[in-house]
Amino acid sequence: MTRYEAVHKALKEIEEKYFEFFEITKSYITQYVLIEPNETNDWINVSIKGNSILPEPIATDIRAVFSVQDSHKK
C-alpha cells in the first residue's frame, strides 16, 4: 500500500465514523483537508483547510490520526 493509499484509507475510516455529518452536509472528508507531498522527503503532509468548519470531534480525530495542525495555524 502506498502512502497516499494509506492516507485515503484512514480518511475514509474517519468519514465512515461520522457518516451522518457528511451525509447531511452532502460533502466528503477530502473537501476539508489538504493532502500534499513533502518536497524534502517521501512523507505526505495532511492538514485541515483553514476555511473548514468541521465539528470538533471530526477535526480532533483527523489531528490524532495524522498529527496535523489546521492549515491557517502554520
Q: Name the pTM for this structure.
A: 0.81
Q: pLDDT, tens digit, for every residue of 44-73?
A: 888 899 888 899 999 999 999 987 555 445
In angstroms, what CA-CA distances link 72 with 15, 19, 22, 34?
22, 26, 22, 11
Q: What DSSP character marks residue 70?
A: B
Mean pLDDT of 12-18: 97
The residue extents of the domains of the chain are 3-73
Q: What percent of the chain has pLDDT over 70?
A: 91
Q: Calculate the average pLDDT of the chain.
A: 87
pLDDT reported for residue 14 = 97
